[in-house]
Amino acid sequence: MILTTWNINGVKARLESALTYLRQHSPDVVCLQEIKSVDDAFPTPDFQDLGYNVATNGQKGFNGVAILSKSPLEDVVRGLPGDDSDQHARWIEASVPLGNRMMRVVSLYLPNGNPIGTEKFAYKLAWMTRMRRRAEQLLEDEMPLVLAGDFNVIPESVDAKRPAAWVNDALFQSESRAAWRTLVNEGFTDATRACHPGPGVYTFWDYQAGAFQKDDGIRIDHILLSSQAADLLVSSGIDRATRAQEKPSDHVPVWIKLAA
């Protein structure tokens, strides 16, 4: 099984790029973030024509997440539990077949949190606490679990070309990174780092100042695997070529291959 996560930065703006990517790579499951579309306006028929079942948790103009699967999606949950007042569309989860069992898949778009010292940063940290609590609940089911998406966290200095440029950014604050480590320590494997431990592994390049041409990137799009899923990990990769296309997303697809 191939599972891919991609912050698409507007599904309507990148629709043709997304469809081309799916035709070329044909992943079995796709987690999308920042679809920037309400559910009714999501181009579901275009993805169905490629054989995908579609579940979305959309929002007008910003945020929004989706899961696409060649197999039926079961037990879909929209929204991160723990705060009924939070109306941001940042979380969707569903079960998909994996061989002769089921796997739980989450597509998530963690808050950016900037500027630090504001309610936006407090919201980011509170969201991460809720995410960890939900992850703990899902781990209790003991089925393979995948948390995939734009975490908006640079875990370590090696995950940035120029770490010093991010010291005042919410993505690289000690609180954000500590919350990441607390989540990972629940028993998750960082799939990209398990396969690519060295430097120069990035998933995001800003649109400004020729960042992509300079390879001035950061790694903020992650796939975390429970122990049951990590046991099935075959390989992982990052498809940088999409960032060089015309009108690209500033993020690129990250993928894993699991043994069914």
Annotated binding site: 7, 34, 150, 152, 250-251
Distances (CA, A) of 231 to 47, 106, 228: 30, 18, 6
Q: Is 109 a catalytic residue?
A: yes
**Diameter of the chain measured on Cα atoms:** 49
The Cα 189–Cα 198 span in angstroms is 16
- Among 21, 52, 109, 202, the active-site one is 109
- Binding-site entries for Mg(2+): 7, 34, 150, 152, 250-251
* DSSP-derived secondary structure for 11-26: TTTTHHHHHHHHHHH-
Residue type, 48: Q
Q: Is 169 a catalytic residue?
A: no
If residue 238 lies in a helix (H) or strand (E), which one and from where to where? strand 233-238
Instruction: Show the CA angle centred on residue 150, arms to residues 4 and 223, nearest 5°.
Output: 45
Residues facing 6 on adjacent strands: 32
Residue 250 and residue 205 in contact, taking contact as beta carbons nearer than 8 Å: yes
Distances (CA, A) of 197 to 53, 151, 158, 202: 34, 19, 9, 12
Residues acting as catalytic residues = 109, 150, 251
